[in-house]
Amino acid sequence: MTKSETKNTAKVYKNQSYWGEVLLRLRKNKMAMLSLYLLIIIILLCAVIPMISPYSIETTNMKNREQKPNSEHLLGTDKIGRDLFVRLFYAGRISLGLALAVVFFECLIGVILGSLSGFYGGIIDAVIMRLAEIFLSFPFMMFCITVVAVFGNSIPTLIFVLALLSWPSIARIVRGQILTLREMEYMEACEALGISDARRIFKHLLPNVLAYVIVYATLGMANVILTETSLSFLGLGVSPPTPTWGNMIQEARNMLIIQHKWWYWIPPGICIFISVMCFNILGDGMRDAIDPKMKR
Amino acid sequence: MGKKLLEVENLKTYFYSDRGIVKAVDDVSFYVNEGETLGIVGESGCGKSITCMSLVRLVETPPGKYVGGEIIFNGEDMLKVSEARLRQIRGNDISFIFQEPMTSLNPIFKIGKQISEALMLHRGMSKTEAYKESIRMLELVKIPNPERVVDDYPFALSGGMRQRAMIAMALACEPMLLVADEPTTALDVTIQAQVLDLMNELKKKINASIIFITHDLGVISEMSDRVMVMYAGKVVEVASVFDIFKNPKHPYTVGLIGSKPDMTTESTRLHVIPGNVPDLNNLPEGCPFSPRCHKVMDVCRKEFPEEKILEDGHRISCWLYNDGRKEVQ
Amino acid sequence: MSAQGEYLITVKDLKKYFPIKAGVIKRAVGNVKAVDGVSFNIKKGQVLGIVGESGCGKSTLGRTILRLLKPTEGKVSYEGKDVFAMNQQEMNKMRTKMQIIFQDPYSSLNPRLPVYEIVGEAMLQHKIVKTKREMKEKAIEVIGKCGLFPEQADRYPHQFSGGQRQRICIARALAVNPDFVVCDEAVSALDVSIQSQIINLLKDAQEDFGLTYMFISHDLSVVKFISDEVAVMYLGQIVEKGLKKQIFSNPLHPYTEALLSAAPSFDPTLRQNEKRIILQGDIPSPANPPKGCRFHTRCPYVHDVCREEIPEYREIKTGHFAMCHKVNGVF
C-alpha cells in the first residue's frame, strides 16, 4: 500500500490534546483568567493569614472591642474584641471549604447515578430519575430548616443537606451528556471492536462528561456560598463561634451596626461578592472554552 | 446570449479571526451571460458558496469583509448599492436556492405564505392574487396537488418536494439570475434526477441565467453551459462544459475528473490527487494547488499565475500555459 | 484465492424492525421495516456492494449483521457459525473478525484520545498485544499501512482532515486483523479528490490482507469500481443481485434501470441523446411500504398484479437474481 499518496502537507502542529485546546481557549478569555487569579489570591490569603496572624480567632479582649480598623487590627475588632481580619480569612476557609465539600459530594453522587442512568437506561434510569425529581421538588429552605431542626446545624449536617438537594441537577446533566455521547459513532465503533462496558464508561464516556461536570461544579461553588449565607441569615448556618462569611454578615441585622460598624459586615460581604462573581465568571468561561461549537 | 448579465471583477472576500485571515474568495473574476447556466465546481473550502453569497452581500460582516473588487449586475455594482436597493434585488432579480430545504424554508409558515411573501413584496400583488400565483408556481414545479400543498407546512413534504417548493419560491418573481447552491446534494439519486430534469425544463421557460454550484462533476456536466473550477478561493479554469470534460487543462481539473470512477470504463486503480484539501488558514505561497500538483514547477511555489485566455475561449490560471511570462491583457 | 463455494458470510431472511411507539403508555403501533427479509452470501475475499437510496435499509443491514443491532428475525452465519446464537465470550472473539467503518469521520473518533490509543485500544482489549508500549508500536505500524506517519500517532483527531480521519478509522478496523469489514458509506462524506485516495486504500487493503467487504453506498460509480457482486436494495428488500457486470450492463429490475439512468454522466454530449428514466413520486416510507411489490408506486411498467402480489425473488441467470413480476414473466 502506497504512502506516497498522503504527503503530509499540513504544518506540524504542536501536540494539542483536547484539554490543551480547552486551556488555550480559556486563557484567551481575560475575564475568566482574572477571576481565576482573584480566586487563587483569596484562597491563598485564607490559607496563610490565620497561620501568620498574631491573633487567634477566639481570643477575646474586652478592652479592645469594637475598634475601627487600625494598624494593630487591620479590620478592627468585634463586640467581644476578637480580631476581625483573622476571623475573615478563617471564615473564608470554612465557607470555601464547605462549598468544596458540598460540590464534591454532589458531583460524586450525581456523576455515579447520572452515568448509571444514562448508560443502562430502562428501569435503572426510571428509578434514578424519579428519585432526582423527588429531591428537586423539595422546597429548599423548608427541607433545610427541617433537617437542621432535627439533626442540628453542625458542618457535616450542612454538607449532607446541601449535597442531597443538589445532586439531581448534576445527575441530569451527566445523564443528558451520556445519552448524547452514547449515540456518537465512536461509541458504536467501540462496541464493534468489542471494548468492554467498563472501559467504554470510564475511558470514553466519562472523560467527555467530566468537562461539563467541572463547569457545573465551579458554578455550584458560587451557589453553595450564597446558600450558606442565606441559611446563616436564618440562623441555620454554621453556628458561632466558628466564623463563616455568612454568619459574619448577619451581624448586619441591626441598623446601628449597619450605620456605624461597617467593618463588621462589609468585608465579609465583599468576599462573598467577589468569590461568587469569580466562580460564576470562571464557570461561564470554562463552559465557553469547552463548547465544541467553537471548533472548526 | 452574448450580453453580460453579471460581471465579477477581482472579488475579494476575506474572513478575519484571531487565527488569522482566511481568504475565502481571493481575486475571483468571472461573468455570466443572459440565459446561460454557469456551473461552479470545487471541493470544500474552495470559496464557491461565499462567492455567490457575496453577489448580494449575504456574507456576515463581521467576521467577513468585502475587501475588494466589483460585482456588476445589470449595470449596478452590488458591492456599492444601498441596503434598500439590495433588498429590492434579493428575491426579485437575484434568487437563491440552497442545499438544505428544511433549514431554508421557515418551518412555522405554510408553503403558500412563503411564496406569497415574495410576490406581495416585489410584485405588489394582493394577498389573493399572490395566493393564486403561488398555486400556479407550485404547478410549474410539478408538485402534485398544489392546491393542498400551498397550505402545508414544510415538514409535511419530502426532501424532493421541499426542494421543488424552494424552486417555486425562487422563481416566483421571475428573477434574472438564479443561484442554486448545491440544490441536489442532499437528495437521493432518483429524486435528484427528477429535480434536475425539472430545472432543465424550467430553464427553457423562464429564460433566467443560472449559477449552479456543486462539487458533483456529473451534475455539472448535465446542467451547465460553461464551467468554472475553483480551488482554495481562486479560479483555476473556465471553459465550456464540453471543453472542460473533453479537454481539461488545469492539473486540478484533470485530477478531479480522473478521480471519479467512471461508469463507462473499467479501471483497476483510481487516479489520485495526493495530499489534503487545503487549509485556508495556512495556504502556501504561490499557487495553492502546488503542494499536490504532479506537474509543479518552481515558479508555482512563488507566484499565482495570471489568467490566460486560450484561442477557444478556454481560460486557465496555470504556469504550464503561461510560459512563465506575465502578460498585460 | 478462495475455495470454490466457500462462503464467509451467509445471511438468511434477515429482518430488522423498529417499533413505532405512540400514546401515553408507548405501545407499539407499527413497525419501521428497515430490513425485511434479506438473504445473500458473500464468498471469502469478495466484495459485495450494496446500493440503494434513503430508507432502503442498507445501513441497518450492515449494523445488524455485525450484531450492533438486535435482529428481529433471521440468521447470519460466519464461517458456518450462527452469529446471533453466540454467547458473550464467543461474540467477543467474533468482534475481531468482523469490523465496520462508518460514514462520518468526525463523530467516529473519540476527540479525547490520541490516535495510537484509538487505533490500539482494541488490540489491548483482545490481548493481541500485552503492554501499552507494544500497543503503540503496533498501532504505528498499522497507521503507517494506512498512509499516515509515525509522528502523527501522538496527535488528536481534531488535528486531522476528513480524509486522514477516515484513514485512522480504517487503521482502527484493520488493527484487530478482521476477515470481514462492512464499509458503511465510508467515502460518502469526503471530498471527491480525497475519496479516490481512500477507495484505493480500501482496495489495497482488501488485496493485501485478503479481506471480504460489504461495501454500502448510494454512489453507483464507487460501488462499480470496488465490488465483485452488487445487490440493489429498495425499502428493506434486495430487488436485484448479481455480478457487477450483470448489474451494470444488463440490469433486470426496473428500479436498477432507473438508478443507473439517474446517475449523471460525465459526458455532456450524452445528455441530449440519452433518454433518461425519471421515476415519478417520492420514496415511500419504510414504516408503511406499499402492498404487493414495493416498487409498484413508481414503476414505469406497473401492472395490476404488481399492486397485489409480492414478486418472487428468482435466479434469472446464473448468479443474477431479481424480484419482479415483469422479469419473472408474469405479464
Q: Among A21-25, B172-176, C311-315, where is mean pLDDT lowest?
A: A21-25
Q: In this predicted structure, what is the pLDDT of residue B329?
A: 38
Segment 162-201 of chain C within 8 Å of chain A by CB: 164, 167, 169, 172, 176, 197, 200-201
Is residue C126's pLDDT more than 50? yes
* Closest CA in chain B for residue C159: B279
Mean pLDDT rounded to a whole number for chain A: 83
CA distances from C187 to A179, A204, B132, B189 (A): 27, 25, 45, 16
In this predicted model, what pLDDT tens digit does every residue of A141-177 receive, in sequence order? 788 888 888 887 788 888 888 898 889 999 999 999 8
Looking up cell 452470501 gives: C41
Looking up cell 488569522 gives: B20
Q: In this predicted structure, what is the pLDDT of residue C96?
A: 92
The model carries a pTM of 0.82
CA distances from C103 to C192, C203, C229 (A): 14, 17, 21
Is residue A13's pLDDT more than 60? no
Q: What is the CA radius of gyration of chain A?
A: 24
Q: Which helix (H) or strand (E) holds A131?
A: helix A122-136
In this predicted model, what pLDDT tens digit does every residue of C56-94 receive, in sequence order? 899 899 999 999 999 999 999 999 899 999 998 899 999
What phi, psi does B320 have (nearest 5°)? Answer: -65, -25
Q: How many residues does chain C have?
A: 331
Q: In this predicted structure, what is the pLDDT of residue A4?
A: 42
Q: In this predicted structure, what is the pLDDT of residue C143?
A: 93
Contacts of B292 in chain A (CB under 8 A): 7, 9
Is C156 touching A (CB cutoff 8 A)? yes
Is residue A213's pLDDT more than 80? yes
CA distance C193 to chain B (A): 6
Q: In this predicted structure, what is the pLDDT of residue A10?
A: 40
Contacts of B197 in chain C (CB under 8 A): 276, 278
Contact flag B190-C248 (C-beta cutoff 8 Å): no
Question: Please, is C1 exposed, middle or buried when counting C-beta atoms within 10 Å of its C-beta (0-12, 13-18, 19+)?
Answer: exposed
* Closest CA in chain C for residue B190: C262
Is residue B180's pLDDT more than 90? yes
In this predicted model, what pLDDT tens digit does every residue of B119-171 receive, in sequence order? 898 888 899 999 999 999 999 898 888 899 999 898 888 888 889 999 998 98
Contact flag C218-B188 (C-beta cutoff 8 Å): yes
3-class SS string, B147-206:
HHHCCCCHHHCCHHHHHHHHHHHHHCCCCCEEEEECCCCCCCHHHHHHHHHHHHHHHHHH
B163 and B97 in contact (C-beta within 8 Å)?
A: yes
Query: What's the rounded Cα separation, in Å, for the pair B139 and B116?
Result: 15
Question: In a mutagenesis test of the C interface, which of B240, B276, B282 is the best target, namely the one with the most C β-carbons within 10 Å?
Answer: B276
Partners for C (CB, 8 Å, 3+ pairs)?
A, B
* Closest CA in chain A for residue B283: A10
Segment 168-197 of chain A within 8 Å of chain C by CB: 184-186, 188-189, 191-196
* Closest CA in chain B for residue C164: B276
Q: How many beta-carbon pairs below 8 A join chains A and C?
A: 100
In this predicted model, what pLDDT tens digit does every residue of B36-93 receive, in sequence order? 999 999 988 899 999 999 999 988 888 889 998 999 998 899 999 999 999 989 988 9
Contacts of A7 in chain B (CB under 8 A): 274-275, 291-292
Residue B110 DSSP code:
-
In this predicted model, what pLDDT tens digit does every residue of C140-187 receive, in sequence order? 999 999 999 998 898 888 888 889 999 999 999 999 999 999 999 999
B153 and B161 in contact (C-beta within 8 Å)?
A: no
CA distance A5 to chain B (A): 4
Is B285 touching A (CB cutoff 8 A)? no
Contact flag A28-B276 (C-beta cutoff 8 Å): no
Question: In a mutagenesis test of the B interface, which of A9, A12, A295 is the best target, namely the one with the most B β-carbons within 10 Å?
Answer: A9
CA distance A10 to chain B (A): 8
Contacts of A196 in chain C (CB under 8 A): 125
Partners for A (CB, 8 Å, 3+ pairs)?
B, C
Q: In a 3-state reduction of DSSP, which class is residue C275?
A: coil
Please give the order of strands across the beta sheet that includes B76-77: B20-33, B4-17, B64-73, B76-77
Q: In this predicted structure, what is the pLDDT of residue A55?
A: 77
B69, three cell numbers: 473588487
Segment 207-226 of chain A within 8 Å of chain C by CB: 207-208
Q: In this predicted structure, what is the pLDDT of residue A145?
A: 80
Query: What's the rounded Cα separation, in Å, for the pair B138 and B167?
Result: 9
Contact flag A6-B275 (C-beta cutoff 8 Å): yes
Q: In this predicted structure, what is the pLDDT of residue A181?
A: 86
CA distance B279 to chain C (A): 9
Q: In this predicted structure, what is the pLDDT of residue A292?
A: 52
Contact flag A193-C161 (C-beta cutoff 8 Å): no
- Answer left, alpha or beta for residue C123, where phi above 0 means left and psi between -120 and 50 means alpha: alpha
Q: Which helix (H) or strand (E) holds A274?
A: helix A262-290
Contact flag B272-A5 (C-beta cutoff 8 Å): yes
Query: What's the rounded Cα separation, in Å, for the pair C238 and C36?
Result: 9
Is residue B328's pLDDT more than 50? no
* Closest CA in chain A for residue B276: A9
Q: In this predicted structure, what is the pLDDT of residue C5?
A: 52
Contact flag C196-B158 (C-beta cutoff 8 Å): no
C106, three cell numbers: 468526525
Is residue B265's pLDDT more than 80? no
- Provide the pLDDT confidence category of residue A6 given band limits of 50, 70 and 90: very low
**How are beta strands B94-97 and C98-101 bridged, if at all?**
unpaired
